[in-house]
Amino acid sequence: MASGSEGGFWLPPQGSTAAGGVDGLFDFIYWLNVFFFVLITGAVVYFVMKYKRKSDDQLATSQVGHNTLMEATWTFVPLILVIVIFAWGFRTYLNLTVAPEGAYQVKVTGQKWSWNFTHPDGTVNTGELHVPANRPVKLLLSSRDVIHSFFVPDFRIKQDAVPGRYTTAWFQAKAAGEHQVFCTEYCGKDHSAMLAKVLVLSEEEFDAGKWKVSKPPEGMSVADWGGDLYNKVGCKACHSVDGSKLVGPSFKGLFGREEKIQGQDPVMVDENYLRESIMDPQAKIVEGFAPAMPSYKGQLDDAKIDAIIEYIKTLK
C-alpha cells in the first residue's frame, strides 16, 4: 500500500516530493521519442511509396543536391532538444543529490542480506525505516560486506551502499504510508530477498516515538513476531525452518538438540546458546558449517532476540 499521488501508467505512485520532477522528465523524453518515431517512420513509409519504381523501363531518379535549410533544421532542433534534456536532467539530479540543510539523518547499513537503520538517538531497526512525513530525510549509506544498492521506487531514489565509504541520498515523503525498499545491486544468493519497508508516520506520531519501543505489533504473539523478524532481519537467508541445510544449521528441531561444536564440547541448544550465537556467532561453530555469520550485536535488542528464540522453540 503506497500512498501519494499516481505515478502514471508505467510508474509507481509518487511517494516523495522529488518523484514528480523525475516523472516529468521521463514523460518528456518518452513523448519526444513517440513523436520522432511516428515522424521518421511515417516519412520512410511515405517515401517508399512515392519513389517506388513504377515500371521496368523507368529510369533512375536524378541525384538530389544538398539543402542547407533542411540540414540546418535537423542539426539545430535535436541540438536544442538534447540541451533541454541535459539542463532538466541536471537540475533534477542535483535536487535528488543535495539534501536540504537540517534534514533528519539516518544511517543505512547494508549487509548480506538485510538493511539496518540507525537513527540519530541510537535507535537501530532492521528491515523497517521509520520516518516522518513532510520532513526531509537524509540517508548516509554504507555496507558491511559487498556493494548493495538502496532503491525505493515510490521515492525515485536509488543509491549504492559501498563497504568502506559513505554515500548519501535524501527524500521527503509526502504522506503517511508504507513503501517497499529493494536491493538493486546483485549481492549474492539472497539478493532478491534483501527487502525492507519505509514506514512513513505523521509528524506527531513520529515525534511521539512509540515506534522505537521494541514490542510485537498489535495482536501478534511474541513467537509470531519472532517469525516476522526471522524474515526481516536476514536469518531466513541462511537458516531454513524445514530441516534443509543452507549456509547455517536449520532452525527446525534446533531448540533442545545437542549440537557438535568444532574444537569444543557439544552443547545443548538453549536460550543462552542461541543468544550467544546471535551476538557472537563465531564463539561456537557447529560441525560441518563455516564461520559465515555476521554479529547482530547492536542491531537486535533483548526483546527482539527473545522473540526470535521463542519462534525457534515453536519449530519442532
Pick from 12, 110, 127, 227 the residue near ligand CUA by CB under 6 A.
Answer: 110
Is the Cβ of residue 18 or residue 237 nearer to ligand CUA in the bound state? 237
Q: How many angstroms separate the Cα of 251 from the Cα of each of 18, 215, 240, 274?
A: 43, 22, 6, 11
Give the Cα-Cα-Cα angle 111, 115, 116 (nearest 5 degrees): 100
Is the Cβ of residue 145 or residue 271 nearer to ligand CUA in the bound state? 145
Residue 228 · residue 220 · CB < 8 Å: yes
Q: Residue 20 Cβ, how far from ligand CUA at the closest point, in Å?
A: 28
Position 169 contacts ligand CUA (CB under 6 A): no
Position 141 contacts ligand CUA (CB under 6 A): no
Position 186 contacts ligand CUA (CB under 6 A): yes
Pick from 19, 129, 183, 201 the residue near ligand CUA by CB under 6 A.
Answer: 183
Which three cell numbers mark 297? 550485536
Is the Cβ of residue 98 or residue 193 nearer to ligand CUA in the bound state? 193
Interacting span for ligand CUA (CB under 6 A) from 56-64, 180-188, 295-303, 307-315: 180-188
Q: Residue 111 Cβ, how far from ligand CUA at the closest point, in Å?
A: 8
Pick from 96, 106, 137, 187 the residue near ligand CUA by CB under 6 A.
Answer: 187
Is the Cβ of residue 14 or residue 149 nearer to ligand CUA in the bound state? 149
Is the Cβ of residue 47 or residue 186 nearer to ligand CUA in the bound state? 186
Q: CA 99, CA 107: separation in Å to the nearest integer?
A: 14
Is the Cβ of residue 187 or residue 300 nearer to ligand CUA in the bound state? 187
Q: Residue 165 Cβ, how far from ligand CUA at the closest point, in Å?
A: 16
Interacting span for ligand CUA (CB under 6 A) from 4-12, 123-131, 181-189, 264-272: 181-189
Pick from 23, 154, 160, 185 the residue near ligand CUA by CB under 6 A.
Answer: 185
Interacting span for ligand CUA (CB under 6 A) from 76-84, 134-142, 167-175, 186-194: 186-194
Is the Cβ of residue 112 or residue 179 nearer to ligand CUA in the bound state? 112
Q: Residue 184 Cβ, how far from ligand CUA at the closest point, in Å?
A: 7
Position 232 contacts ligand CUA (CB under 6 A): no
Q: What string of H, E and C letters represents the secondary structure of the chain?
A: CCCCECCCCCCCCECECCHHHHHHHHHHHHHHHHHHHHHHHHHHHHHHHHCCCCCCCCCCCCCCCCCHHHHHHHHHHHHHHHHHHHHHHHHHHHHHHCCCCCCEEEEEEEECCEEEEECCCCCEEECEEEEECCCEEEEEEEECCCCEEEEEHHHCEEEEECECCCEEEEEEECCCEEEEEEECCCCCCCHHHCCEEEEEECHHHHHHCHHHCCCCCCCCCHHHHHHHHHHHCCHHHHCCCCCCCCCCCCCCCCCCCEECECCCCCEECCHHHHHHHHHCCCCCCECCCCCCCCCCCCCCCHHHHHHHHHHHHHCC
- Summarize as ranges the residues that interact with ligand CUA (CB under 6 A): 110, 113, 148, 183, 185-187, 191, 194
